[in-house]
């Protein structure tokens, strides 16, 4: 069978296709024939990290069960599934050991025709999703879901989304389908128009309106937003603290502006009795709840483009360009 690996190096040119023997499931394991994968910003960071080598990349994929190992109950050949980003995080509080099995990072990921994982790490995908659509769930979708859940989102709440990448568009769709009011930023007016069609009530171009937090304040009648999916990182956190409502929640998710320390006052957190929740994707139990929500709301994920297997490097290049709206998928 075929798979892509990150050979030694520090950019996408080190992606190499190779032929390997097909793995067989052991006791308690399941083999999945992967049909589609999707890219996340994290996959760009991983490809540029020389410490990660000889690793099958990508956390996100969907497929059907090809073989079931001894001792497995509840799963059958042909079942349509995803694998959880943190293989061993089934529920409860996060533990440091879960970092030892993060797909496409500390263990091999999904850019492979067949993968083998413990049965406990699988999640059944929504019936109305194609494999391409389901491949957008494990990282971007679940992160947006958990970000809003941890902030105790309820219908009628206001949500701020930053940019129109994978996490933010998933956040927009979840918020709108849950009866929330969504405000979204982007560097592109054309993308903001698309976001409006998905139900965003207000849009702000963060290039032409760099002080977008003032606009958020105005749009919310000086109340601020109840939830922020903070994907920007150090350069946007200060603006998010200015935008959040009293008692509101910031889901601290991303590093689009880098890993440096933010140069911001922490006092707004105190003054507003606000919450900052660190979100690192999610657990199997949350993923199952998310799928239940999707089966009811019938949301269709937004896929910008599907690349064929042979054009995996081109898919990475496209993701890096930031031209996409929603998700970039690679078919397998
Ligand atoms: N903690 C977690 O579990 C977790 C999970 C998933 C992702 N993440 C992180 O979250 C971030 C987003 O991931 P992703 O996969 O959704 O990325 P993505 O799809 O690559 O999103 C890229 C988009 O982000 C927007 N953007 C870039 N810089 C921005 C800025 N300064 N302010 C506002 N928007 C900006 C741009 O949108 P426009 O073109 O519309 O301007 C860009 O197209 C990344 O840092 C990623 O590492 C973390």
Q: Is the CB of 186 under 6 A from ligand 1?
A: yes
Does residue 111 surpass a pLDDT of 90?
yes
Does residue 127 surpass a pLDDT of 90?
yes
Mean pLDDT of 315-327: 98
Q: Is the CB of 286 under 6 A from ligand 1?
A: no
Q: How far out from the chain centre does Cα 150 lie?
A: 15
Does residue 17 surpass a pLDDT of 90?
yes
Q: In whole angstroms, give the CA distance from residue 279 to residue 277.
A: 6
Residue 11: predicted pLDDT: 87
Ligand 1 atom closest to the Cα of residue 140 is: 6
Within 13 A of 70's CA, how many CA atoms are on the CB side? Answer: 2
Identify the architecture of domain 2-136+301-331 in CATH.
Alpha-Beta Complex (3.90)
Q: In whole angstroms, give the CA distance from residue 28 to residue 119.
A: 6
Q: In this predicted model, what pLDDT tens digit does every residue of 145-188 receive, in sequence order? A: 999 999 999 999 999 999 999 999 999 999 999 999 999 999 99
Other residues' Cβ atoms within 10 Å of the Cβ of residue 221:
7
Q: Sign of torsion, CA 33 122 312 9?
A: negative
Ligand 1 atom closest to the Cα of residue 168 is: 16
Backbone angles phi, psi at 159, to 5 degrees: -125, 140
Q: Is the CB of 279 under 6 A from ligand 1?
A: yes
Q: In this predicted model, what pLDDT tens digit does every residue of 30-65 receive, in sequence order? A: 999 999 999 999 999 999 999 999 999 999 999 999
- Which listed CATH number (1.10.3720.10, 3.40.50.720, 3.40.50.10600, 3.40.50.2300) goes with 141-278? 3.40.50.720
Q: In this predicted model, what pLDDT tens digit does every residue of 256-298 receive, in sequence order? A: 999 999 999 999 999 999 999 999 999 999 999 999 999 999 9
167 Cα: distance to centroid of ligand 1 (angstroms): 7
Q: Is the CB of 136 under 6 A from ligand 1?
A: no
Tell the burial category of 305 from Cβ atoms under 10 Å away from its Cβ (0-12, 13-18, 19+): middle
Distances (CA, A) of 269 to 14, 46, 77, 125, 190: 43, 32, 50, 38, 34
- The chain-wide mean pLDDT, for the chain, equals 98
Q: Is the CB of 331 under 6 A from ligand 1?
A: no
Residue 12: predicted pLDDT: 85
Q: In this predicted model, what pLDDT tens digit does every residue of 74-110 receive, in sequence order? A: 999 999 999 999 999 999 999 999 999 999 999 999 9
Q: How confident is the model at residue 67 (pLDDT cuts 50, 70, 90)?
A: very high
Domain residue ranges in the chain: 2-136+301-331, 141-278
Backbone angles phi, psi at 244, to 5 degrees: -75, 150
Ligand 1, atom 31: nearest CA belongs to which residue? 232
Residue 80: predicted pLDDT: 98
Strand partners for 39: 328
């Amino acid at each position: 069978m075929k798979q892509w690996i990150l050979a030694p190096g520090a950019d996408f040119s080190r992606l190499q296709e190779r032929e390997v023997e097909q793995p067989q499931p052991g006791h308690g394991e399941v083999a999945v024939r992967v049909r589609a994968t999707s890219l996340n910003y994290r996959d760009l960071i991983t490809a540029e990290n020389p410490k990660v080598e000889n690793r099958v990349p990508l956390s996100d994929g969907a497929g059907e069960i090809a073989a079931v190992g001894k001792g497995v109950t509840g799963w059958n050949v042909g079942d349509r599934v995803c694998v959880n980003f943190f293989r061993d995080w089934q529920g409860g509080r996060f533990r440091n050991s879960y970092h030892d099995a993060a797909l496409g990072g500390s263990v091999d990921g999904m850019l492979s025709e067949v993968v083998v994982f413990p049965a406990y790490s699988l999640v059944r995908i929504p019936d109305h999703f194609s494999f391409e659509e389901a491949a957008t769930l494990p990282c971007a979708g679940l992160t947006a879901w958990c970000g809003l859940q941890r902030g105790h989102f309820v219908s009628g709440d206001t949500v701020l989304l930053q940019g129109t990448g994978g996490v933010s568009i998933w956040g927009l769709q979840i918020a709108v389908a849950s009866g929330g009011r969504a405000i979204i930023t982007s560097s592109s007016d054309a993308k903001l128009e698309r976001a409006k069609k998905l139900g965003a009530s207000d849009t702000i171009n963060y290039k032409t309106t760099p002080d977008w937090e003032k606009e958020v304040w105005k749009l919310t009648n000086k109340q601020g937003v109840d939830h922020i999916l903070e994907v920007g990182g150090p350069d946007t956190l200060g603006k998010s603290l200015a935008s959040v409502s009293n008692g509101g929640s910031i889901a601290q998710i991303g590093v689009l502006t880098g890993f440096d320390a933010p140069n911001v006052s922490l006092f707004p957190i105190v003054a507003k009795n606000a919450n900052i929740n660190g979100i690192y994707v999610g657990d199997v139990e949350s993923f199952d709840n998310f799928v239940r929500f999707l089966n009811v709301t019938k949301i269709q994920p937004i896929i910008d483009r599907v690349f064929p297997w042979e054009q995996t490097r081109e898919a990475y290049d496209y993701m890096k360009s930031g031209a996409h709206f929603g998700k970039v998928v690679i078919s397998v």
